[in-house]
Chains A and B, each alone.
Chain A
Amino acid sequence: MTGLFWEEFRVGDRFITPGRTLGEADSVGFADFIGDYDPLVLDDAAARAAGLDGRVVHDLYVYAVVGGLRARLGIFDGTGMAFLESTWQFLAPARFGDTIHAEVEVVDRKPTRHPDRGVMTQRIRVLDQRGRLLQEGMHTGMYRRIGRGL
Chain B
Amino acid sequence: MTDVRAVDIAGTLRSPGRTITESDLVRFATISGDWMPIHVDREAAAASTFGQRVAHGPFVASVAAALAQRAALPWQQARQYDAFEWRARRPVLIGDTLHVEVSRSTEEPAAGTVALDFRVLNQRGEEVGTGRLVQRICGGEAASR
A67, B78: Cβ atoms closer than 8 Å: no
- Give B27-50 interface residues, CB cut-off 8 Å to A: 27-28, 31-38, 47-49
In the bound complex, CA of A68 to CA of B36 (Å): 9
User: Does B106 count as interface, using CB distance less than 8 angstroms?
Assistant: no
A60, B65: Cβ atoms closer than 8 Å: yes
State which size class the interface on B falls in.
35 or more
Mask of A7-49 contacts with B, CB within 8 angstroms, 1/0: 0000000000000100000100110011111111000001101
Q: State which of B3-11, B67-75, B118-126 sits at the interface with chain A.
A: B67-75
Mask of B42-82 contacts with A, CB within 8 angstroms, 1/0: 00000111000010111101110111011000011111111
Complex contacts, B48 vs chain A, CB 8 Å: 81
Mask of A44-87 contacts with B, CB within 8 angstroms, 1/0: 00110111100010011101110111111000111011111111
Complex contacts, A46 vs chain B, CB 8 Å: 76, 78
A40, B32: Cβ atoms closer than 8 Å: no
Complex contacts, B57 vs chain A, CB 8 Å: 67, 82-83, 86, 141
CB distance from B86 to the nearest CB of A (A): 5
CB distance from B123 to the nearest CB of A (A): 18
B33, A50: Cβ atoms closer than 8 Å: no
Complex contacts, A141 vs chain B, CB 8 Å: 57
- Give A69-109 interface residues, CB cut-off 8 Å to B: 69-72, 76-78, 80-93
A82, B35: Cβ atoms closer than 8 Å: no
In the bound complex, CA of A88 to CA of B19 (Å): 26
Apart from A30-B31, A38-B79, A38-B80, 10 more pairs, CB < 8 Å: A39-B77, A51-B138, A63-B61, A63-B62, A64-B31, A64-B32, A67-B57, A82-B54, A86-B58, A88-B85
Show the binding face of B for A, using Cβ within 8 Å: 18, 27-28, 31-38, 47-49, 54, 56-59, 61-63, 65-67, 69-70, 75-88, 91, 138-145
